[in-house]
C-alpha cells in the first residue's frame, strides 16, 4: 500500500512538473513574439 502511495505522489509531482515546463515554454514563446513585434514597430 505504501508503494502505491509513493508512486501516486511521484506521478502527481511529475505531472505538475510537466505543467510548469509547458507553462514556462508558452510564456517564453509569447515573450519572444512580443519582442519581435516591438522591434518591428
Tell me the average pLDDT across 15-41: 89
Q: Which long-range contacts (CB under 8 A, 24 or more apart) does 27-30 make?
A: none
Tell me the average pLDDT across 12-35: 95
Q: How confident is the model at residue 28 (pLDDT cuts 50, 70, 90)?
A: very high
- Residue 40 pLDDT more than 80? no
Structural domain that includes position 37: 1-41
Write down the pTM of the prediction: 0.63
How far is CA 31 from its chain centroid? 15
Q: How many domains does the chain have?
A: 1
pLDDT of residue 37: 73
User: What does the pLDDT look like over 8-23, one tens digit per residue?
Assistant: 999 999 999 999 999 9
Mean pLDDT of the chain: 91
Distance CA 19, CA 3 (A): 24
Amino acid at each position: 500500500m505504501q508503494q502505491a502511495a509513493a508512486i501516486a505522489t511521484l506521478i502527481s509531482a511529475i505531472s505538475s512538473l510537466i505543467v510548469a515546463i509547458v507553462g514556462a515554454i508558452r510564456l517564453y514563446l509569447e515573450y519572444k513574439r512580443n519582442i519581435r513585434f516591438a522591434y518591428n514597430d
